[in-house]
């Protein structure tokens, strides 16, 4: 039982540091996923084959992903045998620990920033995932930290994309470098990098097309943009962030596979996490693609784009379960 007490204390301390943003933003996921786990634990009590099968179904239903679920269940079986756990309630902190392990990996979840000089962050992703909104919110975040920010309207093909970024620019007080609709995106990036250098900008945030109206290959267009940026700033882009809509579940995983293989993605941004009951997609994407989730959208407000913290994510989900487990242990 010493292991349980030690883990319980660690989780209690972490739970206290969970931001309200994570708790509020993950309400739907917590209701759909955690309450089902809690109900299963209360109903079954004992850990047997039927218990594992039901837990499997709950995890798959939360979009954790079949491959990831199989790995997780196998690891739980090993831990249950090793620690001689019989009571289902004792599995709660172990499940939490395993989910954190799946999310953390070896990669750093922090954005890679140039310590001195210009940081260039490129955003990729299909249309409609919240790419432009994410750029606007991140511009607000950096500006509020005292950084000098510039945005580049590199999505010159989608109707209204340039205007949308300009609206965000006006809202957060950040200039937007643009050309006319249909212009060469790489030319826009060249202008943006030159402007950033001349103005002593700290962070340049670059929008790109989600699709092209002509027959040109989107990945070729993105590679052209990379080359132009790298020619002007050899260490750039410092991040290539793939923006995904969390509400699309497994479709988001497919998009991540497509972009991740071909466009040098360094990290992920999951938008609309507050609008889905299937927050498990975070775990599926992280585990199956080995790409770190860097930012998450937890609401509509300007400051609802948060740096992703795997421990906060899991503890925000499991806070209720952990407290229940503590109560049961103290009663026994």
69's tokens: 């679920």
Q: Report the distance separating Cα 294 and Cα 171, nearest Å.
A: 24
Displacement of CA 136 from its chain's centroid (Å): 17
300's tokens: 């509509």
Residues in the chain: 332
273 labelled ligand-binding: yes
Query: Distances from the Cα of 286 to the Cαs of 207, 208, 217, 268, in angstroms?
Result: 23, 23, 27, 9
71 labelled ligand-binding: no
196's tokens: 């950033």
Of the CA atoms within 13 Å of residue 35, those in its CB half-sphere come to: 9
130 labelled ligand-binding: yes
208 labelled ligand-binding: yes
297 labelled ligand-binding: no
279 labelled ligand-binding: no
233 labelled ligand-binding: no
274 labelled ligand-binding: yes
25 labelled ligand-binding: no
132 labelled ligand-binding: yes
Of the CA atoms within 13 Å of residue 71, those in its CB half-sphere come to: 13
31 labelled ligand-binding: no
Burial of residue 65, with CB atoms counted within 10 A of its CB: 0-12 exposed, 13-18 middle, 19 or more buried? buried
Please give the annotated binding residues for GTP, written as ranges. 125-132, 207-211, 271-274
Please give the annotated binding residues, written as ranges. 125-132, 207-211, 271-274
């Amino acid at each position: 039982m010493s292991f349980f007490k030690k883990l319980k204390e660690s989780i209690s301390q972490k739970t206290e540091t969970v931001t309200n943003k994570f708790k509020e933003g993950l309400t739907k996921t917590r209701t759909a996923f955690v309450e089902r786990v809690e109900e299963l634990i209360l109903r079954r009590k004992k850990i047997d084959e039927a218990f594992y099968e039901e837990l499997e179904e709950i995890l798959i239903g939360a979009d954790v992903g079949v491959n990831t679920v199989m790995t997780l269940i196998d690891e739980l079986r090993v831990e249950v045998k090793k620690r001689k756990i019989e009571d289902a309630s004792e599995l709660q902190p172990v499940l939490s620990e395993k989910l954190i392990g799946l999310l953390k990996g070896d990669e750093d979840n922090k954005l890679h920033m140039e310590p001195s000089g210009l940081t260039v962050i490129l955003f990729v992703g299909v249309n409609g995932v919240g790419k432009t909104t994410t750029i606007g919110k991140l511009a607000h975040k950096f500006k509020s930290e005292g950084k000098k920010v510039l945005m580049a309207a590199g999505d010159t093909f989608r109707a209204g994309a340039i205007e949308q970024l300009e609206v965000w620019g006006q809202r957060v007080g950040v200039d937007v470098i643009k050309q006319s609709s249909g212009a060469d995106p790489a030319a826009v990036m060249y202008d943006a990098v030159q402007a950033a250098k001349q103005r002593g900008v700290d962070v340049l945030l670059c929008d790109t097309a989600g699709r092209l109206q002509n027959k040109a290959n989107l990945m070729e267009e993105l590679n052209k943009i990379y080359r132009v940026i790298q020619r002007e700033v050899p260490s750039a882009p410092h991040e290539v962030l793939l923006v995904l809509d969390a509400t699309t579940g497994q479709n988001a995983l497919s998009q991540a596979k497509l972009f991740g293989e071909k466009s040098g993605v360094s990290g992920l941004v999951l938008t609309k996490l507050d609008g889905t009951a299937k927050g498990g997609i975070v775990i599926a994407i992280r585990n199956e693609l080995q790409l770190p989730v860097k930012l998450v959208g937890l609401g509509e407000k300007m400051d609802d784009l948060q740096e992703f913290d795997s421990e906060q994510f899991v503890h925000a989900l499991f806070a209720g379960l952990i407290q229940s487990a503590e109560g049961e242990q103290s009663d026994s």
